[in-house]
């Protein structure tokens, strides 16, 4: 496990920060996930959720729903979980001791939240001089927007992404998932690796300012460059391509089943027309050239949809791939879990959680020969590792830990009625 000698004190929540530390946990880093009993990680869900929410196994929240939420349990495997209240003097003393034994502190609160508790980077360095501090507020730590609260759900709009997603002659459309969160997490993990390499060479820590919003903007490079060069804004075009036609997703037999097809050159076009039983289309004046196919995509898509709608998605894929035409089924969740390729590569791993039971989760997304990653244990229940971390790592006695519990500074049950 290549990162086994690093310890990260993880104050982050929801998705962007936890995804960064998940990547580190997968490669062996010791992640101490710290939460408040009154305002714990929102991905655990409400204290008293309604039944029927899909995030819980079998849509059943159970007696301790904060330990059963699928979002949380997917992002926090191989991490240690502790609780701690920083609004008390004793809690602050424990926190400072945790900082002193950690290589990294990471948070993605509203800008300045930790600083308002008295912990800016300079203050934290008093407890660990070579500390690396990763701060991931929505809009960064400087600039006129720095004080605003933001989540991934709004980043696509403010980055310009939503201006491009959607269909021609229709309005902007959200992608369906909050892209900014995992992208920011990936960016933060990469720059944190660079900071650790820098510290190994120089002995110096570092303050890292990661703007979640700018991580989303970074995805827009080609479109920004194109606008600067041509003065034209990108047009919404659904699943179509600027360069190839046909290139789209087409309906197949069954409910909400689709196949994606992309013809990228003239040889593929001729092979495609033979594969769908319409070789005459190869020389049809409307479709004979790439330019003609792009100009007449509506007609062409209608012809293709009539062919695909009579076939199962995998059958259509097989016929086209056999003909040398790029094609693939649009997979749904159950398809991913059942796919033979993913099974062979171990893309999904079965993890047995104490309050959820054995479930499948995404495993390690890369394969390394000498230092393979590993999902080592399930996500922690709230405060699960309080005694291990505070006793074994900090050296607190059983009586001292009991006192922390008795005063509500640590614990395993939420003290608030809601989360934010």
Q: Please identify every residue annotated as catalytic.
A: 181
Which token pair is 139?
Answer: 């809009």
For 221-268, strand residue ranges (E) read 247-251, 258-262
Which of these, 374, 358, 384, 361, lies nearest to 67 by C-alpha position? Answer: 384
Residues 272 and 63: their CA atoms lie apart, in Å, by 56
Burial, 207: exposed, middle or buried (Cβ in 10 Å; 0-12, 13-18, 19+)?
A: middle
Contact call for residues 63 and 384 (beta carbons, < 8 A): no
Which of these, 117, 128, 112, lies nearest to 8 by C-alpha position? Answer: 128
Which token pair is 153?
Answer: 């759900």
Sheet architecture: strand order including 7-10: 80-83, 30-35, 7-10, 104-107, 132-135, 206-209
Three-point CA angle 262, 267, 273, nearest 5°: 70
What is the helix (H) or strand (E) element at residue 208, kind and residue range?
strand 206-209
Which parts of 130-179 fold into alpha helices (H)?
152-159, 161-164
Q: Is 34 helix (H, G, I), strand (E, B) or coil?
A: strand
Which parts of 33-136 fold into alpha helices (H)?
70-75, 89-100, 113-116, 121-125
Q: Which residue has the tokens 């060479």?
A: 201
């Amino acid at each position: 496990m290549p990162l086994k000698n690093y310890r990260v004190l993880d104050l982050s929540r929801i998705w962007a920060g936890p995804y960064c530390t998940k990547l580190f946990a997968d490669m062996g880093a010791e992640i101490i996930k710290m939460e408040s009993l009154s305002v714990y990680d929102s991905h655990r869900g409400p204290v008293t959720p309604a039944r029927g929410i899909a995030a819980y196994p079998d849509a059943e929240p159970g007696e301790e729903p904060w330990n059963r939420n699928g979002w949380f349990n997917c992002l926090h495997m191989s991490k240690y979980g502790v609780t701690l209240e920083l609004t008390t003097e004793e809690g602050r003393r424990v926190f400072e001791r945790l900082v002193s034994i950690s290589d990294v502190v990471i948070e993605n609160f509203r800008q300045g939240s930790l600083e308002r508790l008295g912990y800016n980077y300079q203050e934290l360095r008093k407890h660990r001089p070579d500390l690396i501090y990763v701060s991931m507020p929505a809009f960064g730590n400087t600039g006129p927007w720095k004080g605003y609260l933001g989540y991934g759900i709004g980043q696509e709009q403010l980055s310009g992404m939503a201006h491009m997603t959607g269909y021609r002659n229709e309005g902007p459309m959200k992608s369906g998932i909050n892209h900014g969160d995992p992208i920011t997490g990936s960016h933060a993990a990469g720059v944190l690796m660079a900071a650790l390499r820098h510290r190994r060479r120089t002995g110096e820590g570092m303050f890292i300012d990661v703007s979640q919003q700018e991580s989303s903007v970074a995805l827009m490079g080609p479109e920004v460059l194109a606008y600067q060069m041509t003065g034209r804004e990108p047009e919404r075009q659904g699943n179509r391509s600027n360069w190839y036609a046909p290139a789209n997703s087409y309906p197949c037999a069954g409910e909400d089943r689709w196949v994606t097809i992309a013809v990228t050159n003239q040889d593929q076009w001729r092979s495609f027309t033979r594969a769908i039983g319409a070789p005459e289309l190869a020389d049809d004046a409307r479709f004979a050239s790439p330019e003609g196919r792009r100009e007449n995509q509506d007609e062409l898509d209608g012809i293709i949809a009539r062919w695909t709608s009579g076939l199962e998605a995998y059958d259509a894929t097989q016929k086209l791939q056999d003909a040398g035409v790029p094609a693939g089924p649009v997979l749904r969740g159950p398809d991913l879990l059942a796919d033979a390729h993913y099974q062979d590569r171990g893309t999904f791993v079965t993890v047995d959680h104490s309050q959820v039971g054995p479930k499948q989760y995404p495993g390690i997304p890369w394969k390394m020969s000498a230092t393979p990653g590993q999902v080592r244990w399930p996500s922690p229940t709230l405060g699960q590792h309080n005694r291990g971390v505070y006793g074994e790592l900090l050296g607190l006695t059983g009586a001292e830990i009991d006192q922390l519990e008795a005063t509500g500074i640590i614990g395993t049950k939420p003290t608030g009625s809601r989360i934010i």
